[in-house]
Structure 1
Amino acid sequence: MKKIHKLRKCLSVLIVCLLILTLAACGSTQSSDTKSVSTKGPIKIAFSPLPSWYFWYLVQEKGFFKKHHVNVKLVYFPTYSDSISALNAGKVDGNSEALIDCISPVSKGIPIKSVFATDYSAGGDGIVAKSGIKSVKNLKGKTVGTEVGTIEHFFLLTALKDAGMTEKDVHLTNMTVQDAGNAFIAKKLDAAALWEPFLSKAQTKGNGTKIASSKSYPGLIADLFVMNENVMKKRPKDVNNIVAAWFDAQKYYQKHPEESLKIIADKAGISTDELKQGLDGFKLLSPNENKQIYKKGNTFESLYYSGKQNGEFLKNLGYVKKVPNLNSFLNSPYTK
């Protein structure tokens, strides 16, 4: 799964710098953006290597965009952060991205808005530990590796909090998720917070035990389809048709899983086994499940709650000055 491992490089220092540049370039024109948005031509949808986001290929290849009379151009970005920068700079009209990666641009006034939630992690992220460490509580005083500032770091802190601990109770080693996985296999770490495929590799090659899984935290790691708000205002019918096309593809996948997997895998350039393994760690969200996750609540099964927690996390790291109000960003007419 060489391509899939790139998918969650969330809000690295590079992204923050790019956001600052984007704001400088776009800030003076935001008030007039609505007028400059074209009502013709294709809507450009960006996405990057996440198993659930590869579903855009199925939407296209099975003709669901054509069925709903919407002109769409898919724009694939091998590097996730590039897709975020493209949306923030107005080079594409929509993008698939993690909720946590929407916090910083919203806080800077970049006009993006959520359309619907594509999925959330349901086992695709976790904490793996060496023999003898059977629970998160057993991590006290142990060396744990993960990438600071990413959703994996946030997941680790959440698991520690639930165990009555904080980051100070462990020896945190900051390294990329891939490097953390390799270091664990090389027995240089006691534990590591990882996403797939490194999570599975750490279990098989490093004889690790999974002591925490995102499957126990539904909604904690949520992914969205996000668009330029001005495009949404100018072309509401097209946006509505894109939403319909996505969920038509989801229904098709449920009825024809093998055919769908082959179509997606062929377009993504990976094997069907690799794709299936990746998809097993994600919960694709139906229209009804979208209605639920878009409701206000006090658990991670509410995007409002998740967004606030993500924002506090980023504020503590200095990535945002203050936690933005996400009411407008999450107030999508397409999830009612």
Structure 2
Amino acid sequence: MLFARLLAFVMAAALAVPGFVCASPLPTVRTAWLAEHEAFAAWYAHERKWDAENGISLELVLFPTGKNLVDNMRGAGCVIGGAAAVFGLLDKRIYVIGVGSDETAANAVYVRPDSPLLALKGENPSYPELYGSAAAMQGKTVLAPVGTSAHQLLYFWLERLGTSDAEAIVIDTKPEEALKAFMGGMGDAVALWAPDTYKAESLGLKRVATGRDCGITQPILLIADRKAADADPAAVTAFMKAYLKAVEAISALPKEELAPLYQRFMRDFAGQEVSVEVARADLEHHRFLSGDEQRAIFRSRAEGGLLQAWIEDVVRFHEATGALSRRQSKALEGVPLATSRFLDEAASH
């Protein structure tokens, strides 16, 4: 009892001293990520204490797949995440609030060095960098993780060649198993993403298509739980300010400093040891977008905005493969839950 009175007296005396501030912990904002490039900026923002500078403490939670992330981020108490977001938009759980990373160059379709597809380039003059042809792909077997960005690339490659999934044979293969199975002799082509794309090239496989070759963009989107964002929009704006500051700083770092930093990020956050070569390749094949670039992307189609077209490509792919019904696709037209509000607020402060 005496100790409690003494403690109260000491606290009262301290508070009476001008300039004394009783420190209180910053509110934690839990965020959801895959072990991929887009999480790098969030990790670096926390590392440099730019989250604290904006009045929050970021906590990064690792998820195994994008679908798992979108399905479970609310249950895990995560306010913000980085993922392909189409299915979260369907039941109106999330807002699209930004672009985490452009991974278009990180996905690719590969064949063996002796593949006859390599003798066929530019069959579609609108896409002169693509290899293959509709006739050459009839009945051919392609390994791909179905429903993913690698599968989306495969879909558009085949479409640009004048054929489709229905004319080829697509075998659903987990990403970590696809390259191994292909090297073991299974299939005629394989659709991969980083870091397996780097392994494929080191093994001598030949690239026949990328998203850029197909004229598509494959972004990882920044998403926010609608309920949490509506309840505390200031926390989402604070995250966006810290994230974009990290993007700016990362973009300005010399290359010789960036790769070791990325290696540390992968080790500390993802628990993965990656070589300096893989780190450099990941940084080369992924791109962060500045705040100004992102705000331009969020403009309407009439104003030159690109986000709606990017997401419509994803929706069309999922409808073509049966993952979305026509009614569901119609519900996603115009991307009504994509908002630049938090980007705008971050820029204005």
What TM-score do you get using the length of structure 1 for normalisation? 0.77
Matched, 1:49 2:35: yes
2:105 aligns to what SS in structure 1? coil
Choose from 114, 119, 124 the match for 2:101.
Answer: 119
Choose from 154, 157, 165 the match for 1:156.
Answer: 154
2:339 corresponds to: 331
Q: Distance in 2 between matches of 1:218 and 1:231?
A: 36
Return closer, same or farther for 1:218/1:315 CA change in 2, 3 Å cut-off. Answer: closer
Choose from 74, 80, 93 the match for 2:60.
Answer: 74
Q: Distance in 2 between matches of 1:332 and 1:146?
A: 34
Q: Distance in 1 between matches of 2:161 and 2:305?
A: 20
1:174 corresponds to: 172
2:209 aligns to what SS in structure 1? strand
How do residues 239-318 of structure 1 correspond to structure 2 at under 5 angstroms? 239-257=236-254, 258-269=256-267, 270-271=273-274, 272-297=276-301, 302-318=306-322
Deviation at 1:62, TM superposition (A): 1.1
1:128 corresponds to: 110
Contact 1:293 1:302 in 2 (8 A): yes
Matched, 1:216 2:199: no
1:4 corresponds to: none
The answer to which of 246-255 and 227-236 deviates more is 227-236
Offset from partner CA, 1:57-89 (integer Å, 9 cap, x none): 111111111222223222233555443233243
Q: Distance in 1 between matches of 2:322 and 2:178?
A: 23
How do residues 87-102 of structure 1 correspond to structure 2 at under 5 angstroms? 87-89=73-75, 91-98=77-84, 102=85
Return closer, same or farther for 1:264/1:63 CA change in 2, 3 Å cut-off. Answer: farther
Contact 1:87 1:227 in 2 (8 A): no
Contact 1:184 1:191 in 2 (8 A): yes
Q: What code does the residue aligned with 2:297 have?
A: I
Offset from partner CA, 1:132-179 (integer Å, 9 cap, x none): 322131434422211222221111111111122222332322222332
Contact 2:70 2:88 in 1 (8 A): no
Return closer, same or farther for 1:78/1:317 CA change in 2, 3 Å cut-off. Answer: closer
Return closer, same or farther for 1:154/1:58 CA change in 2, 3 Å cut-off. Answer: same
User: How many residues were matched structurally?
Assistant: 291
Structure 1 or 2, whichever has the larger Rg, is 2
Deviation at 1:237, TM superposition (A): 2.5
Choose from 217, 224, 228 the match for 1:227.
Answer: 224
Return closer, same or farther for 1:219/1:133 CA change in 2, 3 Å cut-off. Answer: closer
Gapped regions of structure 1 (runs ≥ 5): 1-39
1:241 aligns to what SS in structure 2? helix
The answer to which of 233-242 and 214-223 deviates more is 214-223
1:285 aligns to what SS in structure 2? coil
1:158 aligns to what SS in structure 2? helix
Return closer, same or farther for 1:259/1:204 CA change in 2, 3 Å cut-off. Answer: closer
The answer to which of 246-255 and 307-316 deviates more is 307-316
Deviation at 1:235, TM superposition (A): 2.3
1:237 corresponds to: 234
Q: What code does the residue aligned with 1:133 have?
A: L
Gapped regions of structure 2 (runs ≥ 5): 1-25, 119-130, 268-272, 345-349
Runs of 4+ in structure 1 deviating by more than 4 angstroms, as ranges, are 78-81
Return closer, same or farther for 1:62/1:180 CA change in 2, 3 Å cut-off. Answer: same
Identity %: 17
Deviation at 1:223, TM superposition (A): 0.6
1:204 corresponds to: 202
Q: Distance in 1 between matches of 2:148 and 2:300?
A: 24
- Report the aligned-residue RMSD: 2.6
Deviation at 1:263, TM superposition (A): 3.5
